[in-house]
Amino acid sequence: MAGLLTDAILTAVILLPGFLSFRIAAYIAHYATYKISDLQTTIFSLLLSIAVVIPTSYAAGVNTIDDAGKIFQPFPLVVTIISAAAIGVITGFGLRYTIHSRTSGGSPWDEEARKNMGNYAVVFTSGGDYYLGWIHRMSGDDSDKRELVLSSPSKLFVDDDGKVKSVIDLHAESILFKDDDIKRVFLDVHD
């Protein structure tokens, strides 16, 4: 029975500070919005726990696994919490200003939705029609199907060479395109 209690305490000492560090780092680096599996969370937390347990063990004078209970004394417990928070903050800012600033997370659909909200776009539908308007709303990957709403839409009539022959204002506030309707979206379109 004592061995089971020791294993539970050791698991708590090793994993919990890492989970705290990981949550702080994910919040600061804006990774909370991305889908991270439980396995990835556990692996990252374990790696951060190693960085937390080393200074805590040194401060508590833990030399063997049997001494792990010393970490729950007041001073080493405070050092554990402070170390976990500090490592989480350092990791979070490190990710935010190095890796995260050079990469974009999520799907290309979501990234373009964030960058081009309020810009002009031309939607080419699966029926072969072209529509011009302001991007009013784009649904993301969280929903079952992707949707796009154009404000102040106009229908474009295009010849075989791709040149616009005429434009007809649809006199509508907006038009909704569902996932199956959208064949292609052209961005950075100028009036």
Q: How far apart are CA 188 and CA 26, in angstroms?
A: 32
Structure-block tokens of residue 75: 């001073």
Q: Is 108-187 a domain of CATH 2.30.30.100? A: yes
Mean pLDDT of 135-145: 68
Out of 4-8, 22-26, 90-94, least confident range: 4-8
How far CA 172 is from CA of 150, 154, 155, in Å, comes to 10, 9, 11
Residue 176 has pLDDT above 60, yes or no: yes
**Structure-token match 């061995």, residue found:** 3
Q: Tell me: the pLDDT tens digits for 82-123?
A: 889 999 999 988 887 887 555 555 566 666 666 777 778 888
Q: How far apart are CA 42 and CA 64, in angstroms?
A: 24
Q: How far apart are CA 49 and CA 94, in angstroms?
A: 17
Mean pLDDT of 24-41: 77
Mean pLDDT of 115-136: 82
Model-wide pTM > 0.85: no
Of 103, 181, 112, 121, whose CA–CA distance to 140 is shortest?
112
> What are the sequence ranges of the domains in the chain?
2-102, 108-187
